[in-house]
Structure 1
Amino acid sequence: RDRGGRGDRGDRGGHRGGGHAALLPPGRTPGGTQHAAKEGRASLRVSGVHGPEAGLNGIYLPTDVESHDFSCWHQNDSFYKVWLCRGPRAFWIFQPASQRGTAQGFMISKERHLERPQDATTWRLWRDGGWKVFSTIHVREASPKDVDSDAARGRAPPKKPP
């Protein structure tokens, strides 16, 4: 059974759990399919995550993958392979590629039913047996300078979703 805990209204989450998402064919996610990238969607910059999840900080690029009818973003870092997707209970969730589109994740928005992840004002991490709010965490639209400096550190944009 998942040890990841429960968020608001029974939402499961947490990255420590034993639940495993089924592998899906390329371009398929639970509740969504691969579509052409939408024009004008901004890259996102995540900051203020400390501790074991500090690897979530960085630039996230828009993709042509959808989850639950909302576009996903992929971290501009091939090592972590982190996705930012809409989950089944309408939270925005940072999650590994293997769990993309599920309720499993490292960090979730406190607010539900937001059109865009950058509209969330509060983010939670799984700590000490429950979801804890961290006011230092921010998800904002990235400036072109943010994206360029991330690329200069050797983080090439992902080619295609795994």
Structure 2
Amino acid sequence: MAVTEQTITIGYADIKSKVKKHFSIIGKRLSDKQGNILFTGVTLSSTEEDILKQYVKDAAETFVSSFSPLIAGYTDNTDDVVFTYQRNRVSEGKANAFCSLFKSYVVDYVAYSVLSMTYADSARKYADDMTNHVNSALKLIFQKDAPASVSGNLTDMTGEVILN
């Protein structure tokens, strides 16, 4: 059977945008003692940008390590993390779901890493989501579909076995 590979690319800009959306939702519900809403205008310094990029890389490496038997390649550069995996065990639909779970895991990992420093209660939700994403991805990838049924039985088979 031929090996089918699929490449997944995580773009830093896409992840940053999604994380900022999560933070803006959280920020609308948090305020300081003066009643000012937090996170209304999320801006990042160059140092914070570098830290978020490191979180994206860490998230990808953590997720990919759970699937190491299937990983055919892994690359990270300044703006993207790319990995290729063997998807000959799953249909294209399941492979697309796996890709979505991976991207959601990265977003949740970055959000968790940032929030856990100051808002542990909010961060806990992201930790639970990360666990759910990995468990769901494991079920998708390592659950092999049953072979197609064939009409007939062993007595209908013909052929020979040669032992050396």
Shorter-chain TM-score range:
under 0.3
- Structure with the higher helix share, 1 or 2: 2
TM-score by length of 1: 0.24
Which structure: larger Rg?
Answer: 2
| More strand as a share of residues | 1
